[in-house]
Structure 1
Amino acid sequence: MAWFTRSSQFSLLAIALTLGLAMNTPVQAQTRLGSSPLSNQIPNQWEPPTTPTPAPINKDSGGRRGPCIADPNFNKAPIALVPPSGVGTTMAEYPTVFWYMPKTTAWGVEFRLSDANQNVVYSTTYAFAHYTEKTADGKYEDEFVVGAPGIMSLTLPASGGVSPLEMGKDYRWQLRLICDPQDITGDVYIEGGFKRVAVDPNLKTRIQQAKPEDLVTLYANQRLWYETIDILIDLRRDRPNDKNFTDAWNKLLRSVGLEIITEESLFEEARTVNN
């Protein structure tokens, strides 16, 4: 069993999850939206929480990779796209989590969401789609996961009796990479967390009226982690050669110590596996 402490709709975004600061007062942008490079709107360091929070669950990405990770590079392990403490803020009732998945032969994943009392409030399992590829020596074929290496995402479903995240409460999510459905000893785990926060009604109006690239500034100023990474992934996927978006994406990853992902060519295609 391998653990990576940093490391509905289920999507594979073949583009390769700290408590973000829960702002009591909206941070006002000091420059007009779009008047400077987008990376200027991303903090150099994503601020730590100012109130007591659960123990950090995302300090590093060390540990065993699990038997179904195909990349021989030890650093190529599943990585939760979250800031260092593991918990990020969101304004969404049903947010989306993201993680980096290396090349793998895994069968699928199990996702669990728990409240602060460790009660499981949602769980689901998805089987991956696979493609066949010959091994490096050409002696036999193996079944690899479509979309890996890449960023994968899972959105909490707003149906099926799943309750929305409650305002101001902490939640933890856990993702289990299932290498073999018959043997859990080689499974790989990554974790992250949510804290849903309230935003000013005026900000909500601005968000509804803003262009996609301006949303980056609005979300980052409020330290809304999940919204910030979500919109930047969308922008990079849609315009992978836009240096403005690339620089903002790389700075966001550096702000939470995820520089290793900036080295990956991650934005090739997008594929929805399960609706």
Structure 2
Amino acid sequence: MELSQNKRVADMNYFELIAWLGIGSSHPGGFPATKQNLAVLQILPDEYVLDAGCGSGLTACYLAKTIGCKVMGIDINSQMIEKARTRAEKEGVSHLVEFNIANVYDLPFPDNKFDIVIGESITVFLDKVKVYREFFRVLKPEGRIADLEMALLKELPVNLRHQMEDCFGAGTNPLSFEEWHNCLAEAGFQDVEIKNPQALKDNGNIVMNELKKDWVLIKDLTNKIKRQPTLLPRLQKNAGFMKRNRSYFGFGLIYGRKPTPVKLGFKDWVRQVIFRKKTNSSK
């Protein structure tokens, strides 16, 4: 998805806006939440990580620099991938991190490829079980999923849901922690739990805070504000919604493990073959 330089901010959806700004940590809690979650996961140097929806590569490069593990970062937006590759080169981790354009619904990787899949505020906009089943496929047996997502702490009134969708897009659908848990279990994961669950704090405009701290982004922000005078009001609108209604929202790390397939004994294998034959003959 490429954006025209002449496209107005008012005409961009939330994904386009974030991509145009090049933001990699617009998720709940920002980059501090990322570091908190990575500390809990205890990723090892010899593990291979898939960063799904990597954005501008902030988390992937941080992992490579601090742990020394290999990371594959994927994003559907080519502008994000370009910024991520620039970041990896500038930070000296290009030998550990690779970035490619890919869709989380149809990952271009074989089964049992990765030790861990991480995501940060992407599944909230998507078909959750479908995404989790694809993550399940590319994980090795005993591989882990760790998805930082927004959650509802109480039922969101219809009018506020409409306002939320107006700010962040029609597909925005945060679940309760219990519903997030159930989605991961339905996709086949075991030992499912919510790590680091917490309420959303009033920490101002996360997007603007991340823009100010990230050297990849700040260098061209001033020019973008000059070209697009409606940019700041748009960001303030989104931030204002979350600030007014933060009591409804929390976030946490949706965590699970891909089990090792159970090996069938000879008798179990024979029963399975007979069952399949009966099933096929009855169709």
Whose RCO is larger (CA < 8 A, sep 6+)? 1
Larger radius of gyration: 2
Which has a greater percent of strand? 1
TM-score (norm 1): 0.24
Q: Quick check: which one's helix share is greater?
A: 2
